[in-house]
A and B are shown apart, each in its own frame.
Chain A
Amino acid sequence: MTDKNGFFDLSKTGLSRRTALKGLAAGAGLAVAPGFVRYSQAQSSASLKIGFQSHRTGIGAAYGRWYEKTTAAAIKAINDAGGINGRPVEVIIEDDGTDPGRGAEVVGKFATQHKTDIVFGTLFSHVVIGSAPAAGEAKMPYFVVSEGHHVASTKLNRYVFQPGITDVKSQIQAMAPWIAANAGKKVTQIFPDFAFGYDHRDYLPPALKAQGAEVIAQIAIPPTESSFTKYFPQIPAETEVIYHVMVGPAVLTFVKELGEFYGSNRPQLFGFIDSLEATDINSPGLEFLDGSHFWEGSPRYAQPDDSAAQQAYRAAVGIDDNGAAVGDPKDVSTAAHMFGCWETLYVVKKAMEDAGYKGPEDRAKLVEATEALTEFAEGPEHPQGPKTFNGKIHQCFGIQNISKVEGGKLKVVHKTKIEDGLYEPEGDYTTQAL
């Protein structure tokens, strides 16, 4: 992977008459010169360029770092196996600062300065939504690894895809049967009072209701809050399960204060690991989570029944059995999400091969080829598990993991089926013009 800084690169300017004449003359000269065939081959094997919109700074920096590591590993594997359509793949990284304004500029930079073939890798929802118009206007295929429902909502545009990670609506829906059957029927939700929390607020109640359970209280906590004790008396006494999705630096305080509030006699706890991505589950203050359950996209800890593909993926990315960087146990990964980078790149590879992709002039073909995909089999290219893909809403569906905190580790106790997370499409991108 390389960083490029093509500031005022004159090669990016439009074609002038003089340049065109020089080019024609040079082309004619080359055509009659020995070695022209070799030159043609060199051109056709030029790198495919993937623009990686990375959260290197800002609130998403921990994710960004691991997304870069995973992407580097996937690109190495793809290139070692011959690249895409026989061409090597090069990744160009630009930092979006986890800011939607800068994100849109970065997409524009990839399209007009770096002239990448696609843009890839964005996680945070507001950056995806802020950047999507720029991608659509530039007719630039934009493959995000965000888990937000924004792509599947069909409110973005035809150039935005999420084929490597499931969306939060699907995840919540898939969790509901297990929660109702194993944790309890009366659920109190505690969530941050912003969009990530609203997805859980809106999608969990109907999903639980379908399973004969119910949400009996919803407690929204303002994003500026730093102490949570005053909210806990709002939890109804009959609560059997506390469903929590607090995120950000305050999560340690949240768990600690929840533990102090309940002591040893607490309801069941169910959370999304998003709260603790890149955080050691054994950090002081998190002892209260022992015995609780979490959603994980891909397991952080190596599991006894890990497939060969999963083992190979972990080795390639460089994470140990505890989900930390090999050689640095304190550098905990964002394992539940970052597999999406690996899998998305293999979807891009498949779609480019299906489209016979040669360059930016084939971007529309690439969009249609991606939309035509339907299934991704579990294996080295999709180590997290099998998936289906709905080309109308540009979203994949897959299995989810429910893990229990046991002995300072997360042990997978249940894997959902793909069907558990399916829902009716809310629109159809394929009706939009390319």
Chain B
Amino acid sequence: MKDASPAKPYALHLGVIILLFALSFVLPDYHHGLLARIMVLAVFAMGYNMLFGYVGLLSLGHAMFFSAGLYGAGLAVIHLGWSVPAAFAAGILCGALLALVIGVLALRTSGVAFMIVTMMFAQVFYLVILYFASWTGGDQGMVVPQPARVLVLGSTSLDLTSPTVRYTSALALFSIVLLITLAIVRSRYGRVLVAIRENEERTKMLGYDTFSNKLVAVVVSGTICATSGAAYALLFGYVGSSFASVQYSILPLLWVLLGGAATTLGPLIGTLFMYYVVDITSGFTSAYLLIVGIALILLVLFFPKGILGSIRQRWLGWLP
């Protein structure tokens, strides 16, 4: 990663946020709603990217962090009747605590073993959701009641089921996480993470406690993913075990690979790309996953670093 003055990256990121805000006024209804969902899931991808892109740890279990947030927030509303802010905080806290525990255990491994251990933990989490079906709704899931999805701020109440409020909330969440991510990767800590990714032994020799740094990265990554999950439950009103399945551990990996690992905006580009490829191709054929697969192969062949990663490599070296 080339060094650069902060002006360009921050200007670019603010520009993206302004663009997304402007789009809310011009997009057709369907794409308006879809983009809200994409922004929430891009946050999930950003959390994944924090660990995979910047630390080089390939997890196959991040669905559990997303679902920890999803269920943490959703069940707090459904069973405990908590308000939206309290439930949102509960979801984030669940994800952070889970990430801490999983991080302590899984970071004893590396490489392929780390992939397998994270996948196994995620599978355990998935089966726990099914086991406690009377609380979680099992494989069918549960609806977060529409009347409970209202954010009360003093004398103002915001209905999260309103398309405008939902889009704005998703954009606010996306923007905050994007700027936090940008600040982290540009900080000294972010550079330590990249150093660990590039050569962990050398980083250790330089005196860094790589385990602690990686553990913090797992917790940050898991917390961001849980934030996305909590937002998903509250904005879209459904919690279900399919979000804890292995499919939702693979998806953020694909989104990040497509958009560009270790690029702050790559997760948004990747999520956007995948969503629209599926949305458009499924209108023509039921074999749309084949088309998605071919698109992925072509991207890997011609843009091995993902879309933004390749752009950074060829033209814009300052991209964070």
Contact = CB atoms under 8 A, between A and B. Distances in A.
> Do A and B associate with each other?
yes
Contacts of A126: 139-141, 240-242
A366 B32 CA distance: 27
Contacts of A134: 236-237
A266 interface: no
A150 B31 contact: no
A113 B34 CA distance: 11
B33 A112 contact: yes
Given A7-B279, A95-B286, A223-B130, A129 B30 contact: no
A8 B37 contact: no
A130 B282 contact: no
Size category of the binding interface on chain A: 35 or more
Interface string B237-257: 110111100000000000000
B283 A7 contact: yes
B56 to A, nearest CB: 29
Contacts of A8: 28, 31
A105 interface: yes
A100 B238 contact: yes
A108 B28 CA distance: 12
Interface string B26-44: 1011111110010000000
Interface string B19-62: 00000001011111110010000000000000000000000000
A104 B236 contact: yes
A130 B30 contact: no
A157 interface: yes
Contacts of A318: none
B144 interface: yes
Contact of B139 (A5, A94, A195): A195
A288 to B, nearest CB: 28
A7 B143 contact: no
Q: Secondary structure at chain B's binding surface: helix, strand, loop or mixed?
A: helix
Contacts of A99: 242
B170 to A, nearest CB: 14
Size category of the binding interface on chain B: 35 or more
**Which of A9, A105, A111 counts the most B-chain CB atoms under 10 A from its CB?**
A105
A101 B242 contact: yes
Nearest to B287: A57
**Which of B33, B161, B243 counts the most A-chain CB atoms under 10 A from its CB?**
B33
B76 to A, nearest CB: 17
B153 to A, nearest CB: 21
Contacts of B282: 94-95, 97
Given A3-B283, A7-B279, A126-B141, A109 B30 contact: yes
Interface in B281-300: 282-284, 286, 288-289
B138 interface: yes
Interface string A190-201: 000111001000
Given A8-B28, A105-B37, A112-B30, A194 B286 contact: no
Given A100-B141, A105-B37, A194-B130, A130 B283 contact: no
Nearest to B289: A57
B30 A133 contact: no
Nearest to B247: A99
A109 B26 CA distance: 17
B142 interface: yes
B133 interface: yes
A132 B144 CA distance: 10
Interface string A138-174: 0000000000101000011100000000000000000
**Which of B137, B138, B238 counts the most A-chain CB atoms under 10 A from its CB?**
B238
A106 to B, nearest CB: 9
Contacts of B143: 129, 132-133, 155-157
Contacts of B288: 57, 95
Contact of B29 (A4, A5, A105, A112): A112
A399 B248 CA distance: 41
Interface string B53-92: 0000000000000000000000000000000000000000
A88 interface: no
B313 interface: no
Nearest to A57: B286
A5 B284 contact: yes
Given A112-B30, A112-B33, A193 B243 contact: no
Given A157-B146, A193-B130, A150 B28 contact: no
B152 to A, nearest CB: 19
A95 B289 CA distance: 12
A3 B280 CA distance: 11
Given A95-B282, A223-B139, 19 more contacts: A3-B283, A3-B284, A5-B280, A8-B28, A56-B286, A100-B240, A104-B238, A105-B279, A108-B33, A112-B32, A125-B140, A126-B140, A129-B140, A129-B143, A130-B141, A130-B238, A133-B236, A195-B133, A198-B138
17 contacts: A7-B279, A9-B28, A12-B28, A95-B288, A101-B243, A105-B34, A108-B30, A113-B29, A126-B139, A126-B140, A126-B242, A130-B141, A130-B240, A194-B130, A194-B133, A195-B138, A198-B133
Interface of A: 3-5, 7-10, 12-14, 56-57, 94-95, 97, 99-101, 104-105, 108-109, 111-113, 125-126, 129-130, 132-134, 136-137, 148, 150, 155-157, 193-195, 198, 222-224
Interface of B: 26, 28-34, 37, 127, 130-131, 133, 137-144, 146, 161, 236-238, 240-243, 279-280, 282-284, 286, 288-289
- Of all A-B residue pairs in the complex, the 6 with the closest CB atoms, nearest first, are A5-B283, A133-B237, A112-B29, A113-B30, A12-B28, A112-B30
